[in-house]
Structure 1
Amino acid sequence: MSVATRVLRRLLFVVALPAVLLALWWFASADSTDVYRPPLRTVLAAFPDVWNAERLRADLVPSLVRLLSGYALAAVAGVALGTLIGSYRKVRAFCEPVLEFLRAVPPPVLVPVIMLFAGIGDGMKIVVIAVGCVWPVLLNTVEGVRAVDAVMTDTSRSYGITGAARLRYLVLPSASPQIFAGLRQSLSIGIILMVISEMFAASNGLGFAVVQFQRGFAIADMWTGILVLGLLGFLLSVLFQLVERRVLSWYHGLRESSRRSP
């Protein structure tokens, strides 16, 4: 099978289900007279006028900046703390009750509390995203560090590989599949928290725009905002998969070779 055929086949797999769902939505809503559920053709007709260059710059760009800033903070803090906690049994035993307690608290509940300390500006929204996204990264990093192969650990110790070299060449590569699993979970959480945080005392952003459309009874425009959020989540997921495939190429190659071996 040629490369072009494989790419085309993969593309068809990616777009097949969305195309079917859009077709079902189109025909199911074609005769709708409900103001809250307008026909899909009405929503798509409003899309270019609503999401022009000016609105994209005013609402989409700030949302992306907040999302990526909070996500980056969560990734750095989660990997750093997770590596520390996972590397030392006593530290893990000391922190585990607190981690389990904080993980059980839904991040949206913390929005009013964070507003008291961080205000209502962009800082609050970034902190909300970071606080919600950090837990999947941290907990998956802890588990990944704990699962480092004991034989490889003993081998590195016998060769005198310790400290930063051990962290760089053994611990982080071994834990990276788990770390990326946490980063993937955090990405979807970050998008949800981005929207929720922008519904509180905001003046721009995708969440703010959707709420404004709803309050102004612009229902078709509100549905276009929901579509933009879905498209944003899809594009970020595809970008994440490309990065993951590149960084973990050795891991996927190892799995593929083990699957082919008898």
Structure 2
Amino acid sequence: MTGAPPGRPKSSAWRHVVLRLVFVLALPVVLVTVWWVASDGSEDVYWPPLRTIVSAFPDVWTGERWRGDVLPSVLRLAAGYGLAAVAGVALGLLVGSHRRVRAVCEPVLEFLRAVPPPVLVPVIMLFAGIGDTMKIVVIASGCVWPVLLNTVEGVRALDPVAAETARSYGVTGVARLKDVVLPSAGPQIFAGLRQALSIGIILMVISEMFAASNGLGFTIVQFQRGFAIPGMWTGILLLGLLGFALSVLFRLVERRVLGWYHGLRAATRR
């Protein structure tokens, strides 16, 4: 028995991909075009034409600067973000799973969450110095809260039927955590991780503006102090491109880890 394989036809699939690219790229193209046209001919020192910024990009961000500034920033971000992810999920599982622990910890967590992480930079410098440790701790101290609080809410929202079924079949301990709790709280955990990623980029830049000798934040401030305004704007654009690339990478990881969840949502829409 022969016939067309099930699924979407190739022409329809290609049309879907093209439309998706149009939707993704339409607004950035419009914004860049508006910026290019609006800034063209500008003689303001602090608002150079976009063509000047773009032409300065390859001269500013050479291979040496990528190794000396961009790579250290990304490594600090990865270390702080990874530390916050592990600590946030672990503490969130503990607090969310035990009512008494949650009752004891909730006031303290709410107090600490309300303290802006940039305010803690001078305090952290007293204990961790001015090296990479300080910057990693600053990033982790801000990223941990979205992960922690979303994990707590995800664990608390565990389906009572699933919890009772696991209890009936004797699924306890690590098996219950791995097969019941984490899959159920997974979408909420990834929501917190997504929020933490943008916070981490902001704190990466802020931490590098304090007593630093390299990094994206340090370089942008140096350009500003030296009145190298096109170079400063190239650093800002590079930060935006870095954030976009990390967001795309995060989405790919999320799609792979939560494939069952996105598949279920897609099925319910049909």
CA distance in 2: counterparts of 1:103 and 1:152, whole angstroms: 31
Please report the RMSD computed on the Cα atoms of aligned residues, expressed in angstroms.
0.8
* Residue 259 (structure 1) aligns with: 269
Q: What one-letter code is carried by the residue in structure 2 that aligns with 1:236?
A: L
Check if 1:149 corresponds to 2:159: yes
TM-score normalised by structure 1 residue count? 0.98
* Secondary structure, counterpart of 1:2 in structure 2: helix
Residue 5 of structure 1: CA displacement? 2.8
Q: What one-letter code is carried by the residue in structure 2 that aligns with 1:12?
A: V
* Residue 42 (structure 2) aligns with: 32
Q: 1:129 aligns with which of 109, 128, 139?
A: 139
* Secondary structure, counterpart of 2:46 in structure 1: coil
Residue 6 of structure 1: CA displacement? 2.4
* Residue 182 (structure 1) aligns with: 192
* Residue 60 (structure 2) aligns with: 50
Q: What one-letter code is carried by the residue in structure 1 that aligns with 2:228?
A: A
* Residue 242 (structure 1) aligns with: 252
CA distance in 2: counterparts of 1:203 and 1:150, whole angstroms: 53
* Secondary structure, counterpart of 1:254 in structure 2: helix
* Residue 71 (structure 1) aligns with: 81
CA distance in 1: counterparts of 2:126 and 2:33, whole angstroms: 46
CA distance in 2: counterparts of 1:198 and 1:148, whole angstroms: 40
* Residue 227 (structure 1) aligns with: 237
Residue 20 of structure 1: CA displacement? 0.6
TM-score normalised by structure 2 residue count? 0.95
Check if 1:116 corresponds to 2:99: no
Structure 1: gaps (5+ residues): none
* Residue 168 (structure 1) aligns with: 178
Q: What one-letter code is carried by the residue in structure 2 that aligns with 1:108?
A: P
* Residue 92 (structure 1) aligns with: 102
CA distance in 2: counterparts of 1:16 and 1:203, whole angstroms: 38
CA distance in 2: counterparts of 1:125 and 1:4, whole angstroms: 45
Alignment length, in residue pairs?
260
CA distance in 2: counterparts of 1:125 and 1:195, whole angstroms: 9
Q: Deviations 1:9-29 (Å, cap 9, x if unpaired)?
A: 222222211111010000001
Check if 1:211 corresponds to 2:221: yes
CA distance in 2: counterparts of 1:8 and 1:129, whole angstroms: 38
Residue 53 of structure 1: CA displacement? 1.1
Structure 2: gaps (5+ residues): 1-10
Q: What one-letter code is carried by the residue in structure 1 that aligns with 2:170?
A: G
CA distance in 1: counterparts of 2:21 and 2:243, whole angstroms: 17
Q: What one-letter code is carried by the residue in structure 1 that aligns with 2:27?
A: L
Identity of aligned residues (%): 76
Q: 2:208 aligns with which of 198, 205, 211?
A: 198
* Residue 5 (structure 1) aligns with: 15
CA distance in 2: counterparts of 1:3 and 1:200, whole angstroms: 50
Moved more, 6-15 or 72-81: 6-15
CA distance in 1: counterparts of 2:49 and 2:105, whole angstroms: 52
Residue 52 of structure 1: CA displacement? 1.2
Residue 145 of structure 1: CA displacement? 0.2
Residue 4 of structure 1: CA displacement? 3.0
CA distance in 1: counterparts of 2:251 and 2:16, whole angstroms: 17
Q: What one-letter code is carried by the residue in structure 2 that aligns with 1:68?
A: A
CA distance in 1: counterparts of 2:130 and 2:61, whole angstroms: 25
Q: Deviations 1:165-222 (Å, cap 9, x if unpaired)?
A: 0000000000000000000000000000000000001111000010000011000100
